[in-house]
Amino acid sequence: MKKTVVLVVLFIFPLVAYLFFASGVNNFGRLPILTETITSLESFQGDAVLNGKITILGFLGNNIDERKGNVFNLNQKIYKRFDGFKDLQFVMVVPEGSEEKVTELKGELGTFSDTQNWNFVYGYPSDIEKLFKSLQTDLSLENDGFTPHVFIIDKERNLRGRNDDEDEGMKYGFDTSSVADLNNKMKDDVKIILAEYRLALKKNNADNSE
């Protein structure tokens, strides 16, 4: 009997544990695509482009002073943690005419972190609405073009998120007014998509070296 227990502990349990974690890698190694090929930023003023970048996309609306708390939450919980990944950018969509308020906001952000990867693009309300609708979410913009949610867009302009979230089912975006949402969910999902592209890059490099 003792020999059987020892064999189970030494051989069977590690094998089961390995299979469990290997299965987890396969299931959670990619962040699901929820919407394919959202609208580009061609109709917006600004230097940011979506193609070839992993993007955290947000919509600040006209009342930027009232949205600073959302931006600071995102800056502290996500931006500062992942700033330094060259393929990751943060793009905030704002209406034309907001340049002065954006300059003020970037100045305040600069007291907490380097703002190099904070990008702001300016558009007409119709273009902002078109871009938002292309995400095909169950969320909506407020009248001034604001939503507290930000979205993960991959290098091919696909919206990434969760299709089996324990609270929302389909989780298209992350609520910047909720530190818990940023800490407990968005942080993990950004890790996943960054790891996904790093692994793909390593595989491509290995294939090219053969």
Comparison of pLDDT for 206 and 8, the residue scoring more: 206
Total domain count for the chain? 2
The pLDDT value recorded for residue 91 is 98
105 and 176, same domain (yes or no): yes
14 and 109, same domain (yes or no): no
18 and 116, same domain (yes or no): no
89-112 in b/e form (b: 16+ CB < 10 A) is bbbbbbbeebeebbeebeeebeee
- Residue 177 in tokens: 């007014």
93 and 153, same domain (yes or no): yes
pLDDT digits (tens, 9 = 90+) for 105-156: 999 999 999 999 999 999 999 999 999 999 999 999 999 999 999 999 999 9
81 and 5, same domain (yes or no): no
The pLDDT value recorded for residue 199 is 85
Question: Is pLDDT above 70 for 207?
Answer: no
Residues of the domain holding 20: 1-26
Backbone phi, then psi, for 17, in 5-degree steps? -60, -40
Its pTM stands at 0.83
76 and 12, same domain (yes or no): no
123 and 178, same domain (yes or no): yes
Distances (CA, A) of 149 to 80, 156, 181: 18, 21, 10
DSSP three-state, residue 132 = helix
92 and 189, same domain (yes or no): yes
Q: Which 8-state DSSP code applies to residue 140?
A: -
53 and 122, same domain (yes or no): yes
Per-residue confidence band for 2, with pLDDT thresholds at 50, 70 and 90: low
124 and 164, same domain (yes or no): yes
Share of the chain above pLDDT 90, in %: 76
The pLDDT value recorded for residue 86 is 85
157 and 128, same domain (yes or no): yes
**Domain of residue 150, CATH code:** 3.40.30.10
Question: Is pLDDT above 90 for 3?
Answer: no
85 and 182, same domain (yes or no): yes
Residues in the chain: 210
